Amino acid sequence: MNVVIVDDTPTNLALMRMLVQRLDGCQPIPFADSGSGLDWCLENDPDLVIVDYMMPKLDGLEFIRHVRREPRHDSLPILMVTADHQKSVRYAALDEGGVDFLNKPVDRMEFLARVRNMLALRRSQRALADRATWLAEEVRRAVAEIHDRERETIVRLARAAECRDPETGTHILRMAHYAQRIAVQMGLPADFAEMLLHAAPMHDVGKLGTPDHILLKPGRHSPEEFEIMKQHTQIGYEILRESSSHAIQLAASIALHHHEKFDGSGYPRGLAKEAIPIEGRIVAVADVFDALTSARPYKRAWSLDEARDYLSENRGTHFDPACVDAFLAVWDEVLEIRVRYVDEEEPASAPEPDDGQ
């Protein structure tokens, strides 16, 4: 351990240097000039500082004040050497952040005992700091791992839903990105928009519970079939609800609300306006727009202009006007997303909602 000794009197400096040298694992770093000693302390990492009080230029009190100004040294042990009777000096040293005192002339027994105590204190400080650093790193890693697993769960759920759904993986990616852009444009918090990106792909997870002959039926559903089809919102909600993950909680709400309409004519509950959670209103725009502009076994892909017109015409009836306005305001980004996630001939492989954004 590094023990800095600052004393302008050569004999005292030599004595303390040799006493410190006698201690196991201790390296004395002596300075006859207090200014040089201070410079060293500010540039290095001492374990203990022993400083004389009465010195020319920078005295012991000023020395301690300067050392304590360095944030790294706020708990560095400092011993000040004073004559026994200098009580006012001792009080001042305590005020400046000195830790303990050594009497002059140096008494070997007292000197060694105090230096050992101070170094034991220093070792404990270091061990504690190392442990705190280690713990912080462990916590960071554990949290990162939980986040990764959470995302993986979401990705796997979305994949499972995809297996049952004729819609492609790129649809899921496009609508999730549209939803995120709408949220950002509406001035919602960035972390909410980010969570929307991860949660939106699960909006149709409830289709896992829809019978094949209805889900995969080409052409229009009968009213009875449509009633069963509508249940995918409730089923999705049941699958995802009460998760401890915020992203999955959000996904549950999206699954339940993404077929609600702003005028109250949607399903499953016929909610209207602000009674529909914002994530439901946003995803409704993103999902419908992408469905319209994609080809399906039972319909051709609409042109961009047709889909745009549809959103505008249904602004305030099907859709929240604020969400439509936000979507149209980021039109250039919508076009970029369409280019980035193009449908392939084969149904896309697993959707990866986390595309590294």
Partner 1 sequence: MMDSEPLFDLRATLDNLDNDVEILQAIAATFVADAPRLLADLCTALADHDVTAAIRAGHSLKGSAENFGAAALIRAVKALEDASRTEDFPSAAAWLGEVDRLLAQLCAELRTI
Residues that bind partner 1 (CB under 8 A): 8-15, 18-19, 22, 54, 56, 104-108
> What is the smallest separation between the CB atom of 65 and partner 1, expressed in angstroms?
21
> What is the smallest separation between the CB atom of 107 and partner 1, expressed in angstroms?
6
Angle in degrees, CA 185, 325, 273, rounded to 5: 100
Give Cα separations from 209 to 229, 256, 260 (angstroms).
9, 14, 20
> What is the smallest separation between the CB atom of 2 and partner 1, expressed in angstroms?
21
Contacts of 48 (CB under 8 A, 6+ apart): 1, 2, 3, 4, 76, 77, 78, 79, 115, 118, 119, 122
Beta carbon nearer to partner 1, 108 or 273:
108
By the 8 A CB rule, do 355 and 178 touch?
no
> What is the smallest separation between the CB atom of 138 and partner 1, expressed in angstroms?
46
Please list the helix, strand and coil fractions of the chain in percent, rounded to the nearest 5, in that order: 60, 10, 30
> What is the smallest separation between the CB atom of 10 and partner 1, expressed in angstroms?
4
> What is the smallest separation between the CB atom of 56 and partner 1, expressed in angstroms?
7
> What is the smallest separation between the CB atom of 9 and partner 1, expressed in angstroms?
5
Beta carbon nearer to partner 1, 31 or 289:
31
Q: Is the peptide bond before 268 cis (omega within 30 degrees of 0)?
A: yes
Nearest to 50 by CA among 65, 64, 33, 70: 64
Instruction: Point out which residues pair with 83 in neighbouring strands.
Output: 104
Q: Which residues of 19-58 are buried (b: 16+ CB within 10 A; e: fewer)?
A: bbeeeeebebbbbbebeebbebbeeeebbbbbbbbebeeb
Beta carbon nearer to partner 1, 13 or 118:
13
> What is the smallest separation between the CB atom of 91 and partner 1, expressed in angstroms?
20
By the 8 A CB rule, do 105 and 124 touch?
no
Residue entry with tokens 């209207």: 272
Beta carbon nearer to partner 1, 82 or 253:
82
User: What type of residue is 227?
Assistant: E
Beta carbon nearer to partner 1, 21 or 222:
21
Instruction: Point out which residues pair with 103 in neighbouring strands.
Output: 82
Nearest to 270 by CA among 262, 279, 282, 278: 262
> What is the smallest separation between the CB atom of 63 and partner 1, expressed in angstroms?
17
Beta carbon nearer to partner 1, 104 or 217:
104
Beta carbon nearer to partner 1, 20 or 288:
20
Beta carbon nearer to partner 1, 107 or 344:
107
DSSP annotation of 30? E
User: What type of residue is 37?
Assistant: G
Beta carbon nearer to partner 1, 9 or 153:
9
